[in-house]
C-alpha cells in the first residue's frame, strides 16, 4: 500500500486567552513516509506538530483511514488541544478514533463531513496518536481531499464548535490528496 505523509509545524505559541492556531502550520510539505522524519527535525523549536499519514490511492465506496500524530513541542504542559478533520465532498461520514485502552478521551462531534475534537493537554514532548476514518461514497470519482488542523486552546473551553466558529479562519489546514479508483 502506498502511503503519503504530511507534517506541519507552527511558528509561535498562542496566547492563553485566545484560541488562535498554535498547532496551525506556517508551511506544509507533502513527502514520502521516509522523508517525513527529515522535515520533523527542521521544526524542533515549534510548539506543536501535526503529522498525517494517508493513502495515495483508495477505492470508491470504501473507508479511507488517516493516522494522525499530535505532538507537544513546548517547554511546558500544553493547554487543551483542538483538532479538526474535514472533507468537502465525496464523503458521507467522518469519525475520529483513539487507540483502544488509551487513557485519553476524545470529545468529538459527529457530523457528516467533519469531526471536531477536544483533547486534554499534553506534557512536554508527549504525543497523541489517533485515526480519522472517512466513508467514501460509492459513486465518488476523482480526488478525495482531506483537511486536518488544530490549535492549543484555553482550558475553560468545552465546545469544539465554539472554537471552530471563533478561530476557524486562523487555522491553517494540512491538505491531503487521495486518488479515488474504481
- Res 10: pLDDT: 40
Cα distance between residue 12 and residue 124, in whole Å: 16
Neighbours of 81 (CB within 10 A): 23
Of 29, 48, 65, 15, the closest CA to residue 127 belongs to 48
Query: Per-block average pLDDT, block size 10, for the chain (182 residues)?
Result: 45 37 42 32 50 92 92 82 87 88 75 87 86 90 90 80 79 89 84
Q: What is the pTM of this model?
A: 0.72
Of 21, 6, 14, 121, the closest CA to residue 69 belongs to 6
- Res 47: pLDDT: 64
- Res 38: pLDDT: 26
- Res 80: pLDDT: 84
Cα distance between residue 25 and residue 171, in whole Å: 8
Element (H, E) at 38: helix 36-41
Amino acid at each position: 500500500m502506498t502511503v503519503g505523509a504530511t507534517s506541519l509545524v507552527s511558528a509561535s505559541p498562542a496566547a492563553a486567552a485566545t484560541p488562535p492556531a498554535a498547532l496551525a502550520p506556517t508551511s506544509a510539505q507533502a513527502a514520502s513516509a521516509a522523508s517525513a522524519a527529515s522535515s520533523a527535525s527542521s521544526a524542533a523549536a515549534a510548539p506543536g506538530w501535526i503529522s498525517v499519514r494517508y493513502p495515495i490511492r483508495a477505492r470508491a465506496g470504501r473507508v479511507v483511514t488517516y493516522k494522525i500524530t499530535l505532538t507537544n513541542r513546548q517547554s511546558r504542559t500544553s493547554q487543551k488541544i483542538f483538532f479538526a478533520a474535514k472533507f468537502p465532498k465525496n464523503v458521507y461520514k467522518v469519525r475520529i478514533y483513539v487507540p483502544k485502552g488509551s487513557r485519553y478521551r476524545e470529545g468529538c462531534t459527529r457530523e457528516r463531513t467533519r469531526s471536531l475534537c477536544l483533547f486534554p493537554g499534553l506534557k512536554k514532548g508527549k504525543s497523541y496518536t489517533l485515526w480519522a476514518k472517512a466513508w467514501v461514497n460509492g459513486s465518488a470519482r476523482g480526488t478525495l481531499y482531506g483537511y486536518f488542523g488544530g490549535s492549543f486552546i484555553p482550558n475553560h473551553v468545552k465546545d469544539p464548535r465554539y472554537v471552530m466558529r471563533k478561530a476557524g479562519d486562523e487555522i491553517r489546514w494540512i491538505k491531503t490528496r487521495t486518488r479515488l479508483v474504481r
